[in-house]
Structure 1
């Protein structure tokens, strides 16, 4: 089952907040409760010490009442301590006779201890505190000077330090933790939903734009504003993809028209000439046969370029590298073009460093230079010239082919290496190519880990610069 990103992010944020709150509450509650209990236990010990000290200070072994060593005020004070501190107090004299008990009733004036009083006191404390806690009694000696005169017994439950006020405080503390956790959970959920929507909303817009592009609407764009870096880059990538696909689609349409035109023109000429030959209107002269040959040659070149481009796309180029003198090879290619250039009145100027040895594919290098020379030849004006230079600089070889031809419009420069792309200038030339030669040239250069760039100005000329690493 597919779950939306909004739900996933909201749920993840909610679980994170809930887990954080739960852990924080447990740790905080445990630490605060432990510290508070430690504080109360310390307070209980101080109070017991205070009661013990008071009982010892108030003890009078020479009191006139033989059954007790405390007067009425002392007894009242000790009973108040017993009640306020929730402890049992019992004092015995040196003869182990009970002279005071906090459970003693005022009606027992005879000083005799009711045998059930201690049990009643225990029951009273058990009713007040949970029976799960241990009842503890401790005996302390009563001394006057250096003489022991009696014993005081103090009894309490192990949780007796939890008086009503402390219990209320702990309950209020726990409730405050629960309320805080609930409020934090609600706030976290709201913030999580807002943040998730803030993230998923632009993604949905980008997705919608991508779906439109997938369905053929190449003009669709992801138009949104975002401050999230990743979403911003994704938006730009989708828009760049749309722009690229749109350009490629336009190039394909243009290519279809160009290829149809390139094929139709020579085929129409051939058909017309052959019909003329069949009808006896045209004679099979050398001039007419030469015209046939030129048209057939155009068709062969076009098909060959298409085949080469297809082979380049099918897989990586298999380079047959070897060591050779690139200086001599460049001069050799240049010399092969001189006769063709001279026939049109063009010049080729050479500035080639001698004896540069490279490890490259010789045939592919020849094709690179051949394509660039052929390209320059098509667009040279009267008295045009091409300057070729080959230099070795540091760890690279720089090949430049500069001409004074008609140039390339600046709007076309970014696209001239794209397949089937031809500027308006080249389209209007009868000798205009198919727009594949420079694409092939760039692929061959990059196969050698090289780079190619172009500079051009209208009616000033064009410079192709190629760099090969040594």
Structure 2
């Protein structure tokens, strides 16, 4: 057994000293009890012939032997117990020190027979370390992805502008519209990042008002239908009559991201925007006819910068931010976004409270 230091040593010494004092106190207590009996009730116990009440040499030897045995057993048990208590604490401390030095792969080690609290401590620490490593990896991935998404339009803008300066391209309306398209793409990327960051920081502001959802969905359909028809899609609107308290600017933004996602990745089909009204919730679906998401990607589809494999019929790759924005807007409303399959059809949906919860209303007003 390794020599214990620090807390383990204190535990072992304290338990050993406590056991020795217990034996000594027990002997003294018994002696005092017999002394009282001899003094006040002499007829109960026979006196020694010499009248001496002090412990004899054999009695002292027995006392020393018993104390030594008890001390040996207690210290042995204390050392084992202290080792089981201190070992996971030392492992957690060592792993925490390595993480503070930048080694995010460090984990605390634990035996299978640890006490419940110690095992829970090690498990919680390792879960925290896993999360910390995942966040650090995500930050690196996000930075690389943001740089990649910004580089392409910036390169096009720089090339076109240099071409205009050198006289390679003439600054006509067609060229300016191409540049404007790249600028709009950059603006949308920045806005998507802003929305996701606002949700992460808890500062997304919603302007909830009572709206006629059927009318809002119909107006949204009129807005996106020309672009869908141009891409080979048709559009069907299935609105639900009724009132709801929503931030329709954000809801339209989420629906636009879902329609754009379908336009990028779904096969040309009749795209359906369905709204259903319940007593306490509103659900809006964007339904296409596939090919849908692979099973191994569906659970990660709403993560930041998540991108599946480009489908054969898909028109172009996106930034991987659209579905993250949809989820952020849904969560800001107190709801969620999800993906599902209904027969041959696939859909992305927002499910949000129909009426603003008091806590969310107060939070939005305080921002």
Secondary structure of the equivalent of 1:296?
Answer: helix
CA RMSD of aligned residues (A): 3.7
Deviation at residue 195 of structure 1 after TM alignment: 0.9
1:415 aligns with 2:300: yes
Q: Which residue does the alignment assign to 1:248?
A: 135
Q: Which residue does the alignment assign to 2:327?
A: 442
1:202 aligns with 2:88: yes
Query: 1:352, 1:391 within 8 Å by CA — same for their partners in 2?
Result: no
Q: Which residue does the alignment assign to 1:284?
A: 171
- 1:71-470 equivalences under 5 Å are 161-164=47-50, 167=53, 176=62, 179-227=65-113, 228-355=115-242, 357-383=243-269, 385-392=271-278, 395-425=280-310, 431-455=316-340, 461-468=346-353, 470=355
Q: Which residue does the alignment assign to 1:77?
A: none
Deviation at residue 40 of structure 1 after TM alignment: 4.5
Aligned mates of 1:33, 1:456 — CA distance in 2: 89
- Scaled by the length of structure 2, the TM-score of the pair is 0.76
Query: 1:327, 1:354 within 8 Å by CA — same for their partners in 2?
Result: yes
Q: How many residues align?
A: 348
Q: Which residue does the alignment assign to 1:41?
A: 43
Find the structure with the greater CA-based Rg.
Answer: 1
Query: 1:29, 1:174 within 8 Å by CA — same for their partners in 2?
Result: no
Higher RCO structure, 1 or 2 (CA under 8 Å, sep 6+): 2
Residues 271, 317 of structure 1: CA spacing in aligned structure 2 closer, same or farther, 3 A cutoff?
closer
Aligned mates of 2:135, 2:218 — CA distance in 1: 38
Report the more deviating stretch, 445-454 or 161-170: 161-170
Secondary structure of the equivalent of 1:358?
Answer: strand
Secondary structure of the equivalent of 1:41?
Answer: coil
Query: 2:196, 2:328 within 8 Å by CA — same for their partners in 1?
Result: no
Q: Which residue does the alignment assign to 2:6?
A: 4
Instruction: Describe the superposition over 1:202-242 as per-residue Cα deviations: whole angstroms up to 9, x where unpaired.
Output: 33223333333333333333343333333333333333334
Residues 188, 265 of structure 1: CA spacing in aligned structure 2 closer, same or farther, 3 A cutoff?
same
Aligned mates of 2:244, 2:35 — CA distance in 1: 82
Q: Which residue does the alignment assign to 2:358?
A: none
Instruction: Describe the superposition over 1:353-401 as per-residue Cα deviations: whole angstroms up to 9, x where unpaired.
Output: 311x334444333333333333333222122624433231x54333433
Structure 2 stretches lacking a partner, 5+ long: 356-367
Instruction: Describe the superposition over 1:85-142 as per-residue Cα deviations: whole angstroms up to 9, x where unpaired.
Output: xxxxxxxxxxxxxxxxxxxxxxxxxxxxxxxxxxxxxxxxxxxxxxxxxxxxxxxxxx
Deviation at residue 191 of structure 1 after TM alignment: 1.1
Query: 2:206, 2:247 within 8 Å by CA — same for their partners in 1?
Result: yes
Residues 278, 395 of structure 1: CA spacing in aligned structure 2 closer, same or farther, 3 A cutoff?
closer
Aligned mates of 1:364, 1:15 — CA distance in 2: 69
Q: Higher strand proportion, which one? A: 1
- Scaled by the length of structure 1, the TM-score of the pair is 0.62
Report the more deviating stretch, 299-308 or 14-23: 14-23
Query: 2:239, 2:274 within 8 Å by CA — same for their partners in 1?
Result: yes
Secondary structure of the equivalent of 1:397?
Answer: strand
